[in-house]
Amino acid sequence: MTSPKKAKIEYNDLPLDLSVKKTPEIIKIENENELLIKRDTNNLQTSEKLIAEDNLSLDDSGIFIIPAVPPLPMNISEKLLSLEWELTEKLKCIQFQLPVEYVYNPIEYAFDVHARYVRKYCQTVKKILFLGMNPGPWGMSQTGIPFGEVNMVRDWLDLTGIVEKPFREQPDRKVTGFACTRSEISGRRFWELFRDLCGVPENFFKYSYLQNYCPIALMDAKGRNITPTELKGLEQKTLHYICDEALVATIKLLRVDIVVGVGRFAEKRAQTVVKTAGLSTQILCIPHPSPRSLGNENWSEKAAQRLQELNLLRYFTK
């Protein structure tokens, strides 16, 4: 009997560099407490200038020592981006078995747009975190934004940017970024609801933020979406462990009081995370805007009614 085939998964090596300037070549980090700067014998004037301006002494070996400059504190946006990048790096360790054949990681190949979203709309702590499940083929997989239907991202959230390609593409689920002509109904419904309630995006993001529990999309050979609920055994346990850990860190970073699961899966994962971590965060739920759900044609009305019942509608006004 042959062993089960593993899905061949490769990713772009896209480094995350949140620094503003590169370290000059003359600077050598010897330990975490000091920086040793070697004297440039070809440019004594440079060394002498440094000594004169900074009142430094030079020893006989031609090396002078200055205290290490502590890094500038990262703001909330950059911390969140780092958390998300670490999450995607850890998810690469999972060797998904068939039927998973394709793995799309939009935080990598659409990092330019995703980073704009985080930096524009998550600069402060948030009272409410809306939590989706994972990217859809015509939403976040195209734009890098949760529930990221192309038109709503471009025209209401006012976000555009560079979208590259996953290393392997499913032929019927190609990533074309903002040139994509398919509309993700779930994403359109979600953002249209809050556009109608809030008027401008800033009124939505004043108290809340939207993020997916799992940032990668999984597909079989024919392009069928495979949700995290369909994974089995060690694959599912590992994915849950990694994503749970990231969710705890996000809740703490943003000081979230309320997590609103968009659908039952997100609600249950949030409940498990909060209970396991001993957090006091409240977990609520609104229906998922998927058109596949029965009786979901008037989703906006149902969702607005649910927000009213949960006493959350007051946070979303024009």
The CATH H-level superfamily of 76-315 is: Uracil-DNA glycosylase-like domain (3.40.470.10)
Helix residue ranges, H only, the chain: 44-54, 76-91, 106-109, 111-121, 140-143, 150-155, 185-198, 201-205, 233-254, 264-277, 299-309
In the prediction, which pLDDT does 143 show?
A: 98
In the prediction, which pLDDT does 297 show?
A: 83
In the prediction, which pLDDT does 74 show?
A: 82
In the prediction, which pLDDT does 69 show?
A: 64
CA distances from 132 to 12, 101, 264, 266 (A): 25, 23, 10, 6
In the prediction, which pLDDT does 192 show?
A: 98
Sequence ranges of the domains in the chain: 27-67, 76-315
To 5 degrees, how large is the angle CA 105–CA 107–CA 111?
Answer: 130
Report helix, strand or coil for 20: coil
Query: How many whole angstroms separate alpha carbon 227 and alpha carbon 205?
Result: 27
Copy the structure tokens of residue 1. 């009997």
Could you tell me if 97 and 4 are in contact, meaning their C-beta atoms sit under 8 angstroms apart?
A: yes
pTM over 0.75: yes
Copy the structure tokens of residue 144. 């890098």
Could you tell me if 260 and 131 are in contact, meaning their C-beta atoms sit under 8 angstroms apart?
A: yes
What is the mean pLDDT of each successive set of 10 residues along the chain, which is 318 residues long? 44 38 35 37 46 52 58 86 97 95 98 98 98 97 98 98 96 97 96 98 98 98 96 96 98 98 98 97 97 85 97 96
Using one digit for the tens of pLDDT, what is the confidence trace for 69-123?
Answer: 666 668 999 999 999 999 999 999 999 999 999 999 999 999 999 999 999 999 9
